[in-house]
Amino acid sequence: YFKISSLTKKYPHLSGALFQTFNDLLLAQRWYDLEIRETLTAKHVIIEGKRPETHLTHIVVPCHLSDSLSMKWLTSIFEDLNDVPELYLAIISEDSSIVYYRISSGIVKPQS
Amino acid sequence: MTKIPLYISNGHAYVWTVEDASELRSKHRICGTLSGTLPHLSQQNFFLGLPLLLMPEEVVLLVENGIAVMVDDATATREPSASDLREWDESRKQVVAEQIEQWQQRETARQALEMTNGQGKGRMSEDALQKRKERLERKAREEGAANTIDENLVISRPTPGPVLQPQSSYMVQIPSTSLSHSWYQPRRYDTLDSAKQAGIWQFPSTLEERASYHVFRDLWEKGHFLGSGIKFGGEFLVYPGDPLRYHSHFVASVLPSHSAEIRPMEIVAHGRLVTATKKSHLLCGWDEETGKVTYLSLEWSGFG
């Protein structure tokens, strides 16, 4: 967890969410080629990795249930990531439960 | 092209004819909600009829696009004058006189046919015919006396003279709308500003209402059909086509500014509900400074 520990000083409020999400993706969801990156304007940390089902690269944005988000924040993350079409928001609770929701840029029909 | 009248009553806009309602739906993608119920049915949730109730967003869009005009329903009818009522009474008498004439013609023809038929069953004897005639005449006189209108008016119906073969009943039509009366003179408003000044319409007046309207308008301009989102916990339901043919693809919620708070719990709630119903949630952010709407689509990831 070298990469994570190096970022916890800079993003103390994110350290819990980041750690939990990384572990969940790696061990429970079995994602691979995980990388941790910082976003510029949004001042946030994201995890990039490959899903075993699709073998495509996806982006996960961790946050806490108690965080305060906004349209501005979400759109700036999309911009920082070079207008990637979609990302997964990972929401962590106090008891370390994680739920993932897909957020797509624009009007995108349901994919399920 | 005549504008569709929207009858404004207590801040709500109603469409009262089938033609207008279907034109709004088929030509302008504006569906509204039917709100008419049957008077004797205590609880009605399905099969509602006219009038069609429009969402305030639908009203503003129609007026701004010059498709509809707002009619002040409450002040549309003035007190009829004495001459108004005289005319109205004359036209009703005219209708009755025409009916009596037609009846007389039919009766004469029928009786002529009966007499030439000889011993048909039900043929009345001369005495019986005379008695019947007297009975009908007596009844017409009694009815004639009872048929004067309000005593306060200086109109009196002349007592009917002896009618050859009086009819004891005739039809009086009561029109279902006031539109044909000369004392119906509604004030019509072609712009939102004039309606606001007259005090009959306020929407949109807050930032939230403006945001809601602009999101509605933007989605409508993109070709969608829109309905109320109350059943799915959102502001609007967004359909790819007529709601009678399609299920909605999106539940839309409106954010009045780009800095408006979105709580992660809301994302969980919206995302979960919408995925369970095969839809997506649409977060619609209104930016008053740029006048643009930004969209983010939300659904459950499928894992986790």
Q: What is the pLDDT of residues B31-71, one digit of tens each?
A: 999 999 988 887 888 889 999 999 999 999 999 999 999 99
The vertex-B19 CA angle with B17 and B23, nearest 5°, equals: 120
Residues 6+ apart with CB under 8 A from B146: none
Share of chain B above pLDDT 70, in %: 88
Is B264 within 8 Å of A64 when comparing Cβ atoms? yes
Task: Report CB contact under 8 Å: A103, B296.
Answer: yes
Average pLDDT over residues B123-133: 72
Question: What pTM, to 2 d.p., does this model score?
Answer: 0.81
CB B202 within 8 A of CB B41: no
CB-based contact A74 B262, cutoff 8 Å: yes
pLDDT on residue B152: 44
Check: CB of residue B39 under 8 Å from CB of residue B71: no
What pLDDT is stored for residue B303 in this prediction? 93
- Provide the β-strand partners of residue B9: B12
User: Which residues in chain B have their CB less than 8 angstroms from residue A108's CB?
Assistant: 280, 297
The reported pLDDT for the residue numbered B167 is 60
Residue B155 banded pLDDT, cuts 50, 70, 90 = very low
Give the C-alpha separation, A67 to A69, whole Å: 6
Lowest pLDDT segment from B81-95, B253-267, B282-296: B81-95
Q: Which residues pair with A61 in a beta bridge?
A: A89
Q: CB–CB of A69 and B263 under 8 A?
A: yes
Using a CB-CB cut-off of 8 Å, the residues of chain A touching B279 are 110
- Please write down the HEC assignment for all residues of chain B: CCCEEEEEECCEEEECCHHHHHHHHHHHCCCCEEEECCCCCCCCCCCCEEEEEECHHHHHHHHHCCCEEEEECCCCECCCCHHHHHHHHHHHHHHHHHHHHHHHHHHHHHHHHHHHCCCCCCCCCHHHHHHHHHHHHHHHHHHHHHCCCCCCCCCCCCCCCCCCCCCCCCCCCCCCCCCCCCCECCCEECCHHHHHHHCCCCCCCCHHHHHHHHHHHHHHHCCCEEEECHHHCCCEEEECCCCCCCCCCEEEEEECCCCCEECHHHHHHHHHHHHHCCCEEEEEEEECCCCEEEEEEEEECCCC
Interchain CB contact of A74 with B (< 8 Å) = yes
Rounded Cα distance between A33 and A49, Å, is 5
Give pLDDT, residue B151: 43
In eight-state DSSP terms, residue A26 is I
Which positions in chain B touch A112 (Cβ < 8 Å)? 275, 278, 299-300, 302
Tokens 């999309």 — which residue? A78
Is the ipTM reported for this complex over the cut 0.90? yes
pLDDT, one tens digit per residue, over A28-82 is 999 999 999 999 887 899 999 999 988 999 999 999 999 999 999 999 999 999 9
**Interface list for chain B against chain A, based on CB atoms closer than 8 Å:** 222, 249-250, 255, 257-265, 267-268, 271, 274-275, 278-280, 282-283, 285, 294-304
pLDDT reported for residue B162? 40
pLDDT at B46: 82
Say if residue B224's pLDDT is above 60: yes
